[in-house]
């Protein structure tokens, strides 16, 4: 492997872990973080959490688990080319969605509304809460005791109020500083992954059609190339070949533009990275093309009436569960029971956020369906 760039995060410049531990044997500190994430319960639950389509709608749709693995793959390719810390980007990518509620963004919005009087709910902050506190696997500490740089990468955004409570980790939001380049990569790899797999899943679901996407320049360009070169290719393979080329274009553009930014800025240390503007970026042209694709997906996929029906059902499940648990603490499993109202609200949010789609549906049925009692 090529030597790391001088401005990459390394074990030598890492700010380390909250609880000091012996150095790992035979693997790097960031490989240890990745391994802890993979062995966590929250990571396994990602398999049964919605990305856009509820897990039971079909076996081939992305879930939060396969999404996170795709993000890690894209992020590692970029990090390697830029001589940045691949193990760190992998750890951040695999952990970035650990705090997601069941039912994707509909679930997050519903839980945030329920939590309005209690400090709100934000899935990004929840991912940090999972790795810092909620995972109970180690004898010596709560959470996974990850390195500062992994935790920094997980926390993509944060309000000033929350940042003020996070100590060293929140500082950059208050003082307008940047996270590592590795964190910046994981952030954009997330965007590349979901824009492209949502095209693929959207077409597979039948909610959008490939020909509609010909109005989106980023898709159109590759679609025309594929159709011209392979006129008899079955439609499903046209989709894959088009999406494959789109990912390649985005990754190559990101690498080229970031290299330009880094050399123009003259970065030489990790401190330079934190004080510089965002360096990992697409070219202006590709930003425009991605925006057009996002707008298309918003209008035609995320707001499709069939997706909206699912979202509306999901919101009801979450707000019903929240309300009943707040009303009667005895219905909660004992580890989540709290007596004061604000503490109870946070524990209920942790409990609900930890649920998979199907667990939330089952829990709702167990509590509200009369026939469950009679059966």
Residue numbers of the site for Mg ion (CB under 5 A)?
97, 190
Q: Of 14 and 50, which CB lies nearer to Mg ion in the complex structure?
A: 50
Q: How far is the CB of 298 from Mg ion (least distance, A)?
A: 16
Locus of tokens 């009303």? 327
Q: How far is the CB of 14 from Mg ion (least distance, A)?
A: 24
CA distance 71 to 122: 20
Nearest residue to Mg ion by CB is: 190
Q: How far is the CB of 190 from Mg ion (least distance, A)?
A: 4
Q: Of 97 and 363, which CB lies nearer to Mg ion in the complex structure?
A: 97
Q: Of 72 and 352, which CB lies nearer to Mg ion in the complex structure?
A: 72
Strands (E) in the chain, as ranges, are none
Q: Of 90 and 97, which CB lies nearer to Mg ion in the complex structure?
A: 97
Q: How far is the CB of 208 from Mg ion (least distance, A)?
A: 20
Q: How far is the CB of 220 from Mg ion (least distance, A)?
A: 26
Q: Point out which residues pair with 63 in neighbouring strands.
A: 50
What region does 83 belong to: left with phi over 0, alpha with psi -120 to 50, or beta? left
Q: Of 104 and 143, which CB lies nearer to Mg ion in the complex structure?
A: 104
The CA–CA distances, whole Å, from 357 to 68, 115, 325 equal 17, 20, 18
CA distance 209 to 364: 35
DSSP result, 222-257:
HHHHHHHH-TT--HHHHHHHHHHHHHHHHHHHHHHH
Q: How far is the CB of 68 from Mg ion (least distance, A)?
A: 7
Q: Of 86 and 97, which CB lies nearer to Mg ion in the complex structure?
A: 97
Other Cβ atoms within 10 Å of 271 Cβ, number: 12
CA distance 55 to 361: 12
């Amino acid at each position: 492997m090529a030597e790391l760039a001088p401005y990459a995060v390394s074990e030598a410049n890492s700010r380390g872990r909250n609880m000091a531990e012996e150095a790992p044997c035979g693997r790097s500190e960031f490989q240890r973080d990745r391994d802890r994430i993979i062995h966590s319960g929250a990571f396994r639950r990602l398999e049964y959490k919605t990305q856009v389509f509820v897990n039971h709608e079909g076996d081939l749709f992305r879930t939060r688990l396969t999404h996170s693995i795709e993000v890690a793959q894209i992020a590692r390719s970029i990090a390697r080319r830029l001589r940045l810390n691949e193990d760190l980007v992998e750890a951040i990518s695999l952990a970035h969605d650990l705090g997601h509620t069941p039912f994707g963004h509909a679930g997050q919005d519903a839980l945030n509304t329920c939590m309005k009087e209690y400090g709100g709910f934000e899935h990004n902050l929840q991912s940090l809460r999972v790795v810092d506190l909620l995972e109970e696997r180690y004898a010596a500490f709560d959470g996974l005791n990850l390195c500062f740089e992994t935790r920094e990468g997980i926390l993509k955004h944060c309000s000033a109020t929350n940042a003020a409570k996070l100590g060293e980790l929140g500082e950059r939001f208050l003082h307008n500083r940047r996270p590592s380049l590795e964190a910046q990569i994981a952030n954009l790899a997330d965007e590349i992954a979901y824009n492209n797999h949502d095209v693929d899943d959207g077409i597979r679901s039948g909610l959008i059609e490939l020909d509609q996407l010909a109005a989106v320049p980023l898709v159109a360009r590759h679609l025309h190339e594929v159709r011209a070169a392979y006129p008899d290719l079955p439609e499903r393979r046209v989709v894959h070949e088009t999406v494959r080329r789109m990912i390649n274009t985005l990754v190559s553009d990101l690498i080229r533009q970031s290299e330009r930014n880094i050399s123009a800025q003259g970065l030489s240390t990790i401190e330079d990275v934190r004080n510089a503007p965002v360096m990992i970026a697409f070219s202006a042209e590709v930003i425009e093309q991605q925006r057009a694709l996002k707008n298309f997906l918003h209008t035609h996929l995320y707001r499709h009436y069939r997706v909206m029906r699912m979202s509306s059902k999901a919101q009801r499940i979450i707000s019903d569960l929240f309300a009943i648990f707040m009303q009667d603490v005895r219905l909660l499993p004992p580890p989540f029971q709290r007596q004061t109202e604000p503490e109870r609200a946070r524990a209920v949010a942790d409990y609900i956020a930890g649920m998979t789609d199907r667990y939330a549906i089952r829990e709702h049925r167990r509590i509200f369906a009369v026939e469950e009692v009679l059966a």
